[in-house]
Structure 1
Amino acid sequence: MKLVRYGNPGEEKPGLIDEGGTLRDLSAHVDDIGGTTLSDEGLDRLRALDPSSLPAVSGTPRFGPCVAGIGKYLCIGLNYTDHAAETGNPIPEHPILFMKATSAVVGPDDDIVMPRGSTHTDWEVELGVVIGKTAKYVSVEDAMEYVAGFCVINDVSERHFQMHLSGQWTKGKSCDTFGPTGPWLVTRDEVADVQELDMWLDVNGKRMQTGNTRTMIFGVAEIVSHLSQLGSLHPGDVISTGTPPGVGLGMKPPVYLKAGDEVELSIQGLGTQKQRVREDV
Structure 2
Amino acid sequence: MNALPDLIGVYGGGRMGAGIAHAFLVAGTRVVVVETDDAAVAAARARVTTSVGKADSLGLLNEDPARTLARLEVTTSPAQLAGAGLVVEAVPEDVPLKQKVLGIVEQSAPDAVIATNTSSLPIDRLASPLSRPQRFLGLHFFNPVPASDLVEIVTGAATDVSVLARAQSWISDLGKSAITVRDSPGFASSRLGVGLALEAIRMVEEGVASAADVDLAMTLGYRHPTGPLRTTDIVGLDVRLAIAEHLERELGARFAPPDLLRRMVAEGKLGRKAGEGFYLW
Q: RCO higher in 1 or 2 (8 Å CA, sep ≥ 6)?
A: 1
TM bucket normalised to smaller:
under 0.3
Larger Rg: 2
Q: TM-score under structure 2 normalisation? A: 0.20
Q: TM-score under structure 1 normalisation? A: 0.20
Q: Which of the two has greater helix per residue? A: 2
